[in-house]
Chains A and B, each alone.
Chain A
Amino acid sequence: MSPEPTRPAGPVHVLAEVLAGKRIGAFSHLTLAAPGVGERHRPGSFVAVSVGAPGERTRLARRAFWIHQVRALGGHAATVSLVVDPVGPGSRWLAGLSRGDRVEVTGPLGGRAFALPKEPVPVVLVGEGAHSAPLFALAERLRERDCPVHLLLGAADEAHLLSALEARRIARTVTVATLDGSVGVKGPTAALLPDVLRRSGAAVVYAAGPVPLLHAVARAAEDHGAWSQVALGVPTPCATGLCHGCPVPVVGEDGVGRTVRACAEGPVLRGDRVRWDDLSVPGDAS
């Protein structure tokens, strides 16, 4: 379980072109031509979007989105797709963009992406809502390493459930939970964790989602005797490591408590390293 070597090159800041914007359920799926971003992507890395046009901008905090998929499309070597949940003024603006629009994007960001196991061990991937986005590329990579992949996807309702069909293609088992029971088991995602971990015999649990889910994952993994790697979905005002605005209290390898930046030292952290009770989650300026 050593972290992957550091990425080959740093992030870039580019004016990306929207190639496609598609509404699927509650989410808007945006495909961007963002030269240099997709090429360097690893599962768990993310992009920061600037809201509004330069010079007319009045919303200055950046909006972070997981890189969902990277693929070649129409002459672009590595387009980047994002899953946007339009819940705030920034994300609504982004979700409203259409083909040909331009948006400033920085990426791929993150000092630490998901680390892959050296052995072909069983793994569980847990995600909630739009935060499940980075898990699909991760599942592909894990499958290439012959790791049996089990997916646990949760959402408020079916409209907020990300790509369950796609999930069945890449995972050995897929378990779905929705709060309203519109699809899958009715109830919170975390309630199914112990059962999924036991059935899969997982050695590693990967998770992406809101902090309460990640906390539950870290606890369940520890109870089960598995490693956990959690991708923090916390607000990152600059997302690039410059502002020190996304503090995460952790315990270092030396056992000493310290505070790291979710964007620069994360976004993927070992679940047992985060001091969850000290992690306050401010309202998201999404």
Chain B
Amino acid sequence: MTGPVRLAGLTLASPVLVASGCGGTGRELAGYAPLSTYGAFVTRTITLTARPGGPAPRVLESPAGLLHATGLPNPGLTAFCATELPALVQAGARVVVSVAGESVAEVAEVVSGLARTSGVSAVELALSLPDAEVAGVRTPREPFATTRLVEAAVAQLPPGVPLLAKIWPDPVRAPEHARAAVEGGAAAVVVGGAQPAAFPDGRHAGLSGPAVAPLALRAVAEVVKSLDLAGLRADVVGCGGIATVADARAHLDAGAVAVAVGSALLTDPTAAARIAEGLAVPERPAPEKPAPEHAAPEHVAPEQAEHPAPEHRTQEDPA
């Protein structure tokens, strides 16, 4: 049973967050479930000045995934604070603002602007934007650069407004970036978002969706272990291809205190609310504690019976 959770010193109604860039302006998502349903609404990434976004195609399907490179369309800091932020707060959302910038100074300027605005529960620093080079924003490849950006952002924030660092989801390098972010003052790390990828024409893009879910889960586990070994205290938010209650539970079991649901919303705008609801009810108790050697088969069999494998071939159209 998962009720309210503590994340980076905040008490959130649910461990399920709406991931950055997958909730529109909030207004579009609010029609399917109240925004208060979610632990937090992470905004699309906000930059100092307005950006129109990149050319089409911005989002393409790939096997079990979505490739995306939006070019960070957003109204800019001032317009965001004047229009979208108040609307989100009024709609009942806990707002986490995702930010990026072209330089350390610009990141600090955006965060400083947010720090002076009410309604911001936390700031998420986007350190792993897969189309960053094209969008012209700074994403660190080396841990020292992660620390530097995080320090610059944290310095602008008042006490009580934590910084979440969204780091590269590479399972091998995520731990060092996570430690670097926490050493820089991040209260939480967000692990496992879009993998760096490319559109068929070679343009930089991020890959999201179930295709990346196993990578994300590994990255989360590695980060949790690594922070623990280093004696660093920070919360971990898992994300990347989470589409079902079972996916979310796997991240929580791996040590994440919360999960962010993103691309699943693009296929089913009720996905995050469904997962939040699913996590809020107790897990079906096992009939009895099985002997270890029987644990897997007994647990798996009834699940499979409920969802018989589909006969895909009958769906194929000969045309």
Which A residues form the contact surface with B (CB < 8 A)?
9-13, 50, 53-62, 86, 92-93, 95-96, 104, 106, 234-235, 237-238, 240-247, 258-259, 264, 280-283, 285
B316 at the interface (CB under 8 A from A): yes
The closest CB in chain B to the CB of A14 belongs to B270
Q: Which residues of chain B come closer than 8 Å to A57, judged between CB atoms? A: 64, 210, 267
Q: Which residues of chain A come closer than 8 Å to B255, judged between CB atoms? A: none
The closest CB in chain A to the CB of B63 belongs to A58
Given contacts A264-B24, A282-B57, contact A96 B64 (CB under 8 A): no
Per-residue CB proximity of B198-228 to A under 8 Å, as 1/0? Answer: 0000000000011000000000000000000
- Please tell me if the beta carbons of B269 and A106 are within 8 angstroms of each other in the complex: yes
- Please tell me if the beta carbons of A60 and B60 are within 8 angstroms of each other in the complex: no
- Please tell me if the beta carbons of A55 and B307 are within 8 angstroms of each other in the complex: yes
Q: Which residues of chain A come closer than 8 Å to B269, judged between CB atoms? A: 13, 106, 238, 240, 242
Per-residue CB proximity of B21-60 to A under 8 Å, as 1/0? Answer: 1111101111110000000000010000000111111111
B133 at the interface (CB under 8 A from A): no
Max count, chain B CB within 10 A of own CB: residue among A11, A54, A86, A240: A240
- Please report the total number of B residues contacting A with Cβ < 8 Å: 45
- Among the stretches B65-73, B122-130, B152-160, B170-178, the one at the interface with A is B65-73
- Please tell me if the beta carbons of B31 and A10 are within 8 angstroms of each other in the complex: yes
- Please tell me if the beta carbons of A53 and B266 are within 8 angstroms of each other in the complex: no
Known: A242-B266, A245-B59. 18 other contacts (CB 8 A): A56-B310, A60-B64, A60-B266, A61-B60, A92-B317, A237-B58, A237-B60, A238-B265, A238-B266, A240-B24, A242-B24, A244-B21, A244-B44, A244-B70, A244-B73, A245-B70, A247-B55, A264-B28
Which among B27, B59, B63, B268 is the interface contact of A243 at CB below 8 angstroms? B59
27 A/B residue pairs, CB under 8 Å, sorted by A? A57-B267, A58-B64, A58-B210, A59-B61, A60-B263, A60-B267, A61-B59, A86-B317, A86-B319, A93-B315, A106-B269, A234-B56, A237-B266, A238-B269, A241-B24, A242-B28, A242-B265, A243-B24, A243-B70, A243-B266, A244-B53, A245-B59, A246-B58, A247-B54, A247-B73, A281-B56, A283-B57
- Please tell me if the beta carbons of B23 and A96 are within 8 angstroms of each other in the complex: no
B244 at the interface (CB under 8 A from A): yes
Nearest Cβ on chain B to A56's Cβ, whole angstroms: 6
Given contacts A54-B268, A242-B269, contact A237 B56 (CB under 8 A): no
Instruction: Tell me the dominant secondary structure on chain A's binding face.
Output: loop
Nearest Cβ on chain B to A277's Cβ, whole angstroms: 13
Given contacts A55-B244, A258-B52, A282-B60, contact A62 B266 (CB under 8 A): yes
Q: Which residues of chain A come closer than 8 Å to B63, judged between CB atoms? A: 58
Max count, chain A CB within 10 A of own CB: residue among B27, B28, B54, B210: B28
A282 to B58, CA, bound (A): 9
Nearest Cβ on chain A to B61's Cβ, whole angstroms: 4
- Please tell me if the beta carbons of A50 and B70 are within 8 angstroms of each other in the complex: no
Q: Which residues of chain B come closer than 8 Å to A96, judged between CB atoms? A: 315-317
Q: Which residues of chain A come closer than 8 Å to B24, judged between CB atoms? A: 240-244, 264
Which among B23, B54, B61, B316 is the interface contact of A242 at CB below 8 angstroms? B23
Nearest Cβ on chain B to A97's Cβ, whole angstroms: 8
A10 to B56, CA, bound (A): 27
The closest CB in chain A to the CB of B60 belongs to A285
A104 to B23, CA, bound (A): 19
A127 to B185, CA, bound (A): 58
Q: Which residues of chain A come closer than 8 Å to B66, judged between CB atoms? A: 60-61, 237
The closest CB in chain A to the CB of B270 belongs to A13
Q: Which 8 A-B pairs have the closest CB atoms?
A: A10-B31, A245-B59, A282-B57, A241-B28, A238-B266, A237-B59, A61-B61, A92-B317
Nearest Cβ on chain B to A55's Cβ, whole angstroms: 6
- Please tell me if the beta carbons of B53 and A60 are within 8 angstroms of each other in the complex: no
A14 to B32, CA, bound (A): 11
- Please tell me if the beta carbons of B268 and A245 are within 8 angstroms of each other in the complex: no
A38 to B319, CA, bound (A): 30
CB-contacts of B11-27 with A (<8 A): 21-25, 27
Given contacts A242-B24, A242-B28, contact A60 B55 (CB under 8 A): no
Nearest Cβ on chain A to B69's Cβ, whole angstroms: 10
Q: Which residues of chain B come closer than 8 Å to A104, judged between CB atoms? A: 268
A93 to B270, CA, bound (A): 23
Nearest Cβ on chain B to A234's Cβ, whole angstroms: 8
Nearest Cβ on chain A to B209's Cβ, whole angstroms: 5
Which among B25, B28, B61, B310 is the interface contact of A53 at CB below 8 angstroms? B310
A145 to B316, CA, bound (A): 45
A245 to B319, CA, bound (A): 29
The closest CB in chain A to the CB of B22 belongs to A242
Q: Which residues of chain B come closer than 8 Å to A264, judged between CB atoms? A: 24, 28
A102 to B252, CA, bound (A): 32
Q: Which residues of chain A come closer than 8 Å to B73, judged between CB atoms? A: 244, 247, 259
Q: Which residues of chain B come closer than 8 Å to A247, judged between CB atoms? A: 52-56, 58, 73
Nearest Cβ on chain B to A263's Cβ, whole angstroms: 9
- Please tell me if the beta carbons of A60 and B52 are within 8 angstroms of each other in the complex: no
Q: Which residues of chain B come closer than 8 Å to A238, judged between CB atoms? A: 59, 265-267, 269
- Please tell me if the beta carbons of A243 and B68 are within 8 angstroms of each other in the complex: yes
Max count, chain B CB within 10 A of own CB: residue among A9, A259, A283: A259
A285 to B310, CA, bound (A): 23
